[in-house]
Chains A and B, each alone.
Chain A
């Protein structure tokens, strides 16, 4: 293998480039189908991409500091978001993990209280962790680390355990499985003891069991032997009796370490992806473990993605009999998703928010594809990457973490140090939302508008901070409004049509262009329901609204004042005497005939007028309770409309809201086949050439690419394609080509080009050869996607 082992790029790069392309191709082809380049070549290459690929925008006129700042802020923002995301995961499963720990701790106590059985049951915890198995890695790693923890005062772990996390990929057969398990257990050896272990041979006889020490030793020796066996040859000692996959090895190791602990530490085996294990292996494994159960305190924890039934389907009864099963449920990823969305898109005021379309993309991909947390995380990360990588104005995003005063100070400093240059400012002025802002200012405060356009310092150091603070304020208000909406929705549990999950609600709010007002069906319905609530309900509602508003007391105090007035009125109503009530009842009877339509079933002018009049009438004449209810309804309507207005009305929202979706769709939900087919049927989509413009996609023009022509002919064929006929048709197209006069078309050129294109189509998977008929191919695709 002289050719292959060679390191090819020891020669300088330049010579390589100087060589003809075909030549280079040949060399690659003939000698190396795998090419290795070693790090030294970095020295030869000067044009290395620096700064992780971040580039100076504005055609290179962005200050380098500003670029570096973008890079750093991306790291910071992503880290904080990522922390949030994983914190939520840990927090979410806190109780479940806690109970798993308890189960492990208590497994022994239970055993002692039970009737002795002729075989040894392995305490087994089934952990249901949701259907998306790739996500389980983090969850099980967390469980494992929790179980491993030493006993300290602040965690209520009773004892330390030895833990080994097994995945099906490590366990192709029972031998492998045991070996991996034993290796991992031995890796658990506490630090303080490792030195002991190394000196094992010397202190072999000091410890209680000579044999065990030898086992340890054997293990080490046997691995050594693998490397040196040949050199040692016949001289080597007789092979040890303990192979690296012998359970006795584990037993010995365990006995050796056990005495250092007050109570016997458990050996916890976690089988992370139960479904992927080979059932036969597991049966053997459990049988072996059960045999050793009397000497080794083995506990099993199995991760299950489906349901308990899988256990019964894959293991036979005698094996299941060996397990003493308890079940634990981790929270499903849906819960996690809910909380992440809430945390990132509602609670936080300092990170990038998603606009309606990216948000919908996130929802759709989570619920309709795979329930995968990893994908959601990746999507969020990619959005951040895109924002910081491609948008020079992203430097303003981290400012949101500061208060207004700090913002001003920072911006002033940036202006001084020229981290912001005129391009930034121009870009800000070019933002759509900024334009709208100026236009709205022109009518009211034209001086300010002019100043904003002319005075850079004023814009950056004074207006931007206040605008950014407005955005922060808006986000707080938005959250409050959103929660109010949720609260109102929860008031009427019997109307299931009204009930929507928070995520969907958020989607609806984001999607509505003009914010939530009367124009959203749901809000209108809710408000009309509020109008009709009865007396007790009014009290309850008032209480709940008060609770909600108190959380957000920094947002708006006037709401609370309003609430107090209603409260007072309501108290009066409650304290009112019999006579008053009777009067009210009478009044209510009188008003029974009044209809309050809530469905928009009647749209005529008169109907509306009647409706309005009856509303007015009820306000004046209705019972006190209904008067309050009407007031509340009106207030809700107004407040929701105000609080949940669309983010697109805010100036500078582009800095904080991520609305681009194209990139995500391409990067995460790509359609390779469609793109190949587009390239073949409408090459001008990619090439943008003047010659190949066609109206219908089944037209064929001679100037198109050879493979495009062949593909279009292919589309007209049946199941089998006669290569010769195909060739003739292809040739006819090629003949129409414009060629230089002196170079006429040779037949074997057509043939060569035909062969090339057919090979390409086969390579792409559109056809395959067949034996059914000589020189025929089978057509494999039947529709354009």
Chain B
């Protein structure tokens, strides 16, 4: 495209513009900025605005020209010609940027990162000396994007009034032919909602090739410390919100007593709230708290916990349906020890509870007399879990319990994308691997796991296993032979390679060079795996 564009290197493009202007003019320019934005939105010509993170090759030229309207407007008004300064200083003057929409933000951002390999680095050595003069000219060409003359003129006039600058009117004539060119490429990129899906379905969406390798790896421990130090937004409001929820405890209790079951939804972790509710209100019977977000939980565990843990009965555990029936019958019968049972399930839509069998079993429990179920759901499609039969068995009363609490606990297991959780497939992965192995191989794993568990118990260790609780090779071999799991050195080595390939077992060399084997999982996960598999 042969547009008379004043080229601007990436280094020159400002990220944040500092200004010190009165609130009045700030308001005015805010207005203009918004107008401009609405115009460009309407025309759609050459704007790939809402593609957001997707980068479009053809438009890159234009968008580069455009940089950021808002920012430039802002710059314009500060006739003082204040030079750009280091981005850190904006913390003090960030007022005029406050209402920037993400849209402008984004396209702007796009330019920056496209060319610059690392934006943050760039920002840091951003030269503050970019002259305002070059900037102004860029801005003017940029304005030619808007095809709506009348509107633009109005805007133009307003701007002139504001800054008493009439240089733009000349530029404006010359730019008209370009506009027409651009109008031809009328785009359909402003559709919203589901239409966007279909629109994007057939266009090959292009995203930049940046990868996260540009970031440093964050260790889980570090991650948690940083977050606990990070500022809490809206702390007070969130507290008020949860106070308001707590006011409803008696009402919820009443609803439970009246034979309904409760389900809570809404953004924010409801764990604390429900635990508090359970502990303060549901005191007249045994209480089972199930963390449904736990990756390896199963309905069997829950049922066992009810019979063994709460009722203190041992049931010959055959089929799930029999087990459920036993529990239901218990709470039907006249001469039962406990009047009722409360079950609190955090995340009834947890990954491992989503299956049909579990939901059926839980719905039967929920239906039984004297068993009260309190559950929370977080997934936006969790309503699809239940068919008509199940939902009528559950007999829900829905409550909106938006808490804005963070989901740190719920998301800490394995569904986090970014945190380097020690490169293991997680508990569920381990389960699959172990299930596919021979019983001897499982035995080999069990030996290490049991050793590690006792060690961890002794050391009172929390978190994932490391070499301090591991076994050296010779010890390990000895133990495996004693258990008749391997007969030769070679056999053990084969098994260990298998485990190492699946990252179930890790090794580390000690100071004196001996290799130690350990399982990089935390205690509860390990316990669970052993119970399920072995």
Contacts and interface: CB of A to CB of B under 8 A. Distances in A.
Contact of B411 (A26, A49, A739, A759): A759
B437 interface: no
B54 A717 contact: yes
A33 B215 contact: no
B99 A699 contact: yes
Q: Give the interface size bracket for A toward B.
A: 35 or more
Contact of A763 (B91, B241, B285, B415): B415
A532 B250 CA distance: 62
Given A378-B395, A720-B54, A735-B87, A702 B98 contact: yes
B226 to A, nearest CB: 4
Contacts of B429: none
B400 A782 contact: no
Given A716-B103, A748-B216, A749-B230, A30 B210 contact: no
B404 A705 contact: yes
B241 A34 contact: no
A676 B380 contact: yes
A34 B380 contact: no
Contact of B201 (A4, A719, A721): A719
Given A736-B94, A752-B226, A53 B250 contact: yes
A132 B388 contact: yes
A114 interface: no
B284 A39 contact: yes
Interface in A1-46: 1-5, 7, 13, 21-22, 25-26, 28-39, 41-42, 45
7 contacts: A25-B409, A29-B409, A45-B283, A683-B404, A716-B51, A736-B98, A748-B222
A679 interface: yes
A666 B398 contact: yes
Interface string B207-245: 110111111101000110011111101100110110000
A726 to B, nearest CB: 6
A34 B301 contact: yes
A82 to B, nearest CB: 11
A633 to B, nearest CB: 48
B283 A48 contact: yes
A226 B227 contact: no
A677 B193 CA distance: 13
B380 A52 contact: no
A766 interface: yes
A720 B102 contact: no
Interface stretch (B158-166, B255-263, B496-504): B255-263
Contacts of B281: 48-49, 53
A735 B382 CA distance: 35
A728 B109 contact: yes
A38 to B, nearest CB: 5
Contact of A720 (B196, B207, B267): B207
Contacts of B11: none
* Interface secondary structure of A, over-half rule: helix
B193 A729 contact: no
A667 B215 contact: no
Nearest to A373: B392
A705 B268 CA distance: 11
B524 A31 contact: yes
Given A389-B254, A706-B233, A134 B208 contact: no
Contacts of B402: 675-676, 679, 686
Nearest to B347: A763
Interface string B372-400: 00000111111100001100110101111
A782 B194 contact: yes
A666 B462 contact: no
Contact of B417 (A53, A720, A723, A735): A723
B527 interface: yes
B188 interface: no
Given A739-B231, A748-B226, A763-B378, A39 B286 contact: yes
A672 B266 contact: yes
Given A1-B531, A39-B286, A378-B395, A718 B205 contact: yes
Query: Which of B193, B305, B392 has the largest count of A CB atoms less than 10 A from its CB?
Result: B392
Given A675-B400, A758-B418, A765-B380, A718 B212 contact: no
A748 B119 CA distance: 15
Given A389-B254, A782-B193, A36 B286 contact: yes
Contacts of B53: 716-718, 721-722, 725-726, 729
B216 to A, nearest CB: 7
B426 to A, nearest CB: 13
B253 A700 contact: no
B290 A34 contact: yes
B94 A755 contact: no
Contacts of A672: 265-266, 377, 380, 382-383, 398
Contacts of A722: 53, 207-208, 210
B528 to A, nearest CB: 8
Interface string A694-705: 101011111111
B59 to A, nearest CB: 13
Contacts of B291: 28-29, 33-35
A387 to B, nearest CB: 13
